[in-house]
Structure 1
Amino acid sequence: MKAALKLIVLFCAVLLVQGAMAADAPLRLGVGLFQPDKDKNDATYRPLANYLSEKLGRKVELRTVDSWEGLAKSLANGETDIGLLGPWGYVLANQEAGAQVVATILYDGKPEYYGIMVTHPNSGINKPSDLKGRTFAFGDKGSTSGYLIPLHYFMTQGIIPETYFSKVLYTKHQAIETQVTQGVLDAGADYNRNRNAMIEQGLIKADQSKIIWQSDPLPNDAVAVSAALYADKAFVTRLKAALTGVTQALKKQPDLLPAHYTGFVARDNLFYKPIRDAGLATGTLKVK
């Protein structure tokens, strides 16, 4: 009996040690490729990782994932604990592995943005119906504004991209804008925040890019945690407090977020319902 009791005590002690080790393990923060290249993206979001590390009392390791689809998968398969990812990527991670949103990023104080379609002003294209027989580029298939939302729009118009356009490409948002301004590509899908940022940074010229379509408001990028981490309610509460405190922290540390990003606001899964509905309507999201 005493031997059995000792084994139970030892087993409990091992579990406590393992729990403590897990609590001290670094948190892996995955961030989508918001900037033109990985090095710049890492440099841009490292201050946020350091801020979260200080507020949460745990080391936060930053990793840039170069596609929205890849980031959603990394959050789903446990390679990432916390992800800053696009709305569609979040919905995919939620559907596949129960990842849960805890906050939405604010851009100029707003939690929403717009999907757009762009062309060169001299292309002769003024609206989506003028695109028949032209070249068109989507973003990667994990992108909200670059893929899901324009695909949903085309579906409502009876447009099948593979037969409607002379050529369909899938590439990065920055490449779409650049190739449109160069006249290499007739048109493509993007989002207003990216276009505005590229103009501000001098990467493209405003007079060489024209918007021919704009979506309804879309929920901004989500900060989501893995299902395992979400089960730790005390941690989630601390994380939400840290994120909603970013707006105040920006006053002392302006480089905490990129230009125009003004903090985070707490949001739940319901806020991303329009994205989920579009996924279901296009058949790219399956009902479980």
Structure 2
Amino acid sequence: MLKRTLTLAAGLALSFSAVVAQAADVLATEVLKVTAIPDEAPTELLRKFKPLGAYLEQQLGMKVEFMPVADYPAVVEAIAADRIDLAWLGGFTFVQTRLKTGNAIPLVQREQDAVFTSKFISSDPAVKSLADLKGKTFAFGSVSSTSGSLMPRYFMQQDKIVPETYFSRVAFSGAHDATAAWVEAGKVDAGVLNASVWDKLVAAGKVDTKKVHVFATTPTYYDYNWTVRGSLDPELAGKIKAAFLALDPAKPEHKAILDLQAASRFIETKPENYKGIEEAARAAGLLK
């Protein structure tokens, strides 16, 4: 009788533990924690996300919370530690995240992210190409930025240009909008930034095209995507993907969300799309 009682007690304890664990999983996903690489000012990132966050709350039936991070590496660490469920990543940051976690899953990307480019800009009217910048000052965005550093550097290296020896000084502004501001203010002679951010700055009148001009554009490459941590419930991940794919530019309320994301629409993506970026990062010595 005592053995049966102990066995029953042990079974109940295990069942209770399982229930507690399941409850903890449910509680952990009651709030979808979202972040984005800080490639623009924090206030701008939050402004762009608010309508999208409200849409996701409606579609998923759960609270969605945006959690800003200090820098690009912090995004990678947050996903690896399961502190973030969903993140807007650049191509290189995705590669870093995938290599660190082994299972981060890219869900969707904007249509233009399959054919993304970077813009080289200068405030000097005499600058028509990179050949005109030898010995001058130059700015990238963040060291970890795909479109503001990695891919422009990779394409320059294809043309036998090593930035640190070609330019008199190389600086890192930390963000695309900051690069444009530096060039316009004459802090550097030229710089490179995300083509999408450049177009947005021009459309919003936040850069004076009488002072700053585009003198070159990179070849195309894959860039940004929305990625979930590999340990996220697959059913929830599927709902998140479906919500993005359901955004229809023909619906005014959806178009407002897409416009803030600088997207015509979202399409599915996969890890294989970012192999080229991984190869570029290894060629640049940014991955071992």
TM-score above 0.5, yes or no: yes
Residue 151 of structure 2 corresponds to: 149
Residue 177 of structure 1 corresponds to: 180
Residue 68 of structure 1 corresponds to: 72
Identity %, equivalent residues: 25
Q: 1:263 to 1:5 in 2, by over 3 A?
A: farther
CA contact (8 A) 1:69 1:140 kept: no
One-letter identity of the residue aligned with 1:129:
A
Partner secondary structure for residue 231 of structure 2 = helix
Deviation at 1:79, TM superposition (A): 2.5
Deviation at 1:187, TM superposition (A): 0.8
Residue 16 of structure 2 corresponds to: 13
The structure 1 segments of at least 4 consecutive aligned residues displaced by more than 6 Å after TM superposition are none
Deviation at 1:58, TM superposition (A): 2.4
CA distance in 2, matches of 1:244, 1:182: 40
Larger Rg: 2
Residue 266 of structure 2 corresponds to: 264
CA contact (8 A) 1:137 1:187 kept: yes
2:135 is the alignment partner of 1:133:
yes
Residues 199-237 of structure 1, C-alpha deviations (whole Å, 9 max, x = no match): 1111112232222322222224111011211xx332222
One-letter identity of the residue aligned with 1:43:
R
Instruction: Compute the TM-score of the two structures, normalised by the length of structure 1.
Output: 0.88
CA contact (8 A) 1:105 1:220 kept: no
CA contact (8 A) 1:47 1:256 kept: yes
Partner secondary structure for residue 253 of structure 2 = coil
CA contact (8 A) 2:196 2:262 kept: no
CA distance in 1, matches of 2:256, 2:74: 26
CA distance in 2, matches of 1:261, 1:237: 20
Residue 119 of structure 1 corresponds to: 122
CA contact (8 A) 1:247 1:264 kept: no
2:286 is the alignment partner of 1:281:
no
CA distance in 2, matches of 1:64, 1:233: 24
Partner secondary structure for residue 206 of structure 1 = coil
Residues 40-61 of structure 1, C-alpha deviations (whole Å, 9 max, x = no match): 3213202212222222232221
Extract unaligned runs of 5+ from structure 2.
Answer: none
CA distance in 1, matches of 2:108, 2:8: 46
Match of 1:33 among 24, 34, 38: 38
CA contact (8 A) 2:39 2:145 kept: no
- Counting matched residue pairs gives 280
CA distance in 2, matches of 1:55, 1:77: 26
CA distance in 2, matches of 1:69, 1:256: 27
Instruction: Compute the TM-score of the two structures, normalised by the length of structure 2.
Output: 0.88
